[in-house]
């Protein structure tokens, strides 16, 4: 069954981007108006994040988001047959010299990302853009066929995938090596009472502790990845240093800086963020007070 699914997706990936975008335009109408896909969640999230905007302004962000959301999916499928030249034309890192400097210093580096489009392009391009072995921590997909398909898609250019469910054991194999480690820091924590709580767009939300703990334990430089878009299908990213000495920071400070940068990045281009992702799904309780790390 896997090979049948793979063949279908591969043939689909051979379509020109302009054809895929026409499909996206139709699918946006379908998912927004006819059979709304998580539309209530999207609008509720936007109401939390942007209470100062009018309802029409938030609906405009949602409408733009659905185009980016579907584009992201189709662009990801396109990667199955895309070559290095395609990636170079559609994804650019503004300041890769930051990574080169850490590599020459013989220091590992952590990239802290959010669910901002198009992270799959970044996943495929970073192995070309850096001398570091590139490792990505990911959440396995429940559907085994899709999990295998996306594993192939994400590792085809040299990326090493490490499941979030087995990170500690898998990372032992790299304990004596340099590497560039990508972590999606806005992934919902498995347990809200074992998380850092911060005000995200003014409302308390839990954030996983593991990215900060990893950076602090090895005093590993942490870099935020800001995505932005210059045209349809054309993405750029700017690397922003969070800290090159995270061990010297008070506990929680690295996460606070990350969340601050993430919120700024989203405000810059709100329609690029994954608003179907339920960032505020855990309600606030008084017992979480001790876990707040806001300054």
pLDDT digits (tens, 9 = 90+) for 16-54: 999 999 999 999 999 999 999 999 999 999 999 999 999
pLDDT of residue 191: 87
> Residues 228, 262, 203, CA angle at the centre, nearest 5°?
135
Give the bridge partners for 127, in sequence order: none
* pLDDT at site 295: 57
Q: What is the mean pLDDT of residues 93-101?
A: 95
The CATH number assigned to the domain with range 2-278 reads 3.40.1130
Residue 249: pLDDT over 90: yes
Q: How confident is the model at residue 165 (pLDDT cuts 50, 70, 90)?
A: confident
Q: What pLDDT, on a 0 to 100 scale, did the predictor assign at position 97? A: 95
Query: Per-residue confidence at 105, pLDDT binned at 50, 70, 90?
Result: very high
Q: 147 Cβ partners below 8 Å, 6+ apart?
A: 140, 141
- Residue 62: predicted pLDDT: 98
Tens of pLDDT, residue by residue over 46-79, are 999 999 999 999 999 999 999 999 999 999 999 9
Asked if 251 and 293 count as a contact pair (C-beta separation under 8 A), the reply is yes
Please give the Cα distance from 161 to 170 (Å, whole number).
Answer: 10
Question: How much is the pLDDT for 166?
Answer: 84
The stretch 162-169 carries a mean pLDDT of: 85
Which of 163, 170, 204, 208 minimizes the C-alpha distance to 187?
208
Q: Give the per-residue pLDDT at 3.
A: 92
- Is residue 48 a contact partner of residue 32, using CB atoms and an 8 Å limit? no
- The pLDDT, as a whole number, for residue 143 is 93
Mean predicted lDDT score pLDDT of the chain: 94
- Provide the b/e sequence for 24-36 (b: ≥16 CB within 10 Å): beebbeebbeeee
Q: What is the mean pLDDT of residues 238-250?
A: 97
Q: Taking 60 as the threshold, does the pLDDT of residue 236 lie above it?
A: yes
């Amino acid at each position: 069954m896997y090979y049948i699914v793979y063949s279908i997706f591969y043939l689909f990936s051979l379509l020109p981007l302009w054809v895929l975008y026409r499909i996206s335009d139709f699918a946006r109408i379908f998912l927004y108006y006819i059979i709304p896909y998580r539309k209530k969640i999207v609008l509720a999230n936007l109401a939390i994040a942007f209470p100062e905007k009018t309802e029409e302004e938030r609906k405009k962000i949602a409408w733009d988001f659905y185009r980016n959301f579907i584009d992201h999916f189709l662009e990801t499928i396109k990667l199955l047959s895309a070559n290095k030249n395609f990636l170079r034309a559609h994804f650019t890192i503004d300041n890769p010299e930051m990574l080169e400097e850490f590599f020459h210093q013989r220091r590992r580096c952590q990239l802290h990302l959010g669910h901002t489009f198009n992270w799959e392009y970044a996943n495929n391009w970073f192995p070309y853009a850096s001398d570091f072995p590139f490792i990505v921590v990911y959440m396995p997909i429940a559907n085994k066929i899709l999990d295998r398909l996306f594993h192939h898609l994400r590792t085809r250019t040299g990326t090493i995938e490490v499941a979030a469910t087995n990170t500690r054991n898998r990372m032992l194999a790299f304990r004596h090596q340099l590497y560039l480690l990508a972590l999606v820091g806005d992934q919902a924590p498995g347990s809200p009472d074992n998380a850092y709580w911060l005000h995200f767009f003014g409302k308390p939300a839990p954030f996983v502790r593991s990215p900060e703990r990893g950076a602090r334990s090895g005093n590993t430089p942490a870099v935020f990845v800001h995505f932005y878009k210059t045209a349809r299908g054309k993405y750029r990213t700017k690397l922003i240093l969070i800290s090159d000495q995270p061990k010297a920071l008070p506990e929680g400070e690295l996460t606070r800086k990350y969340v601050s940068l993430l919120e700024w990045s989203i405000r810059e281009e709100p329609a690029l963020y994954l608003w179907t992702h339920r960032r505020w799904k855990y309600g606030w309780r008084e017992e979480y007070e001790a876990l707040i790390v806001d300054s």
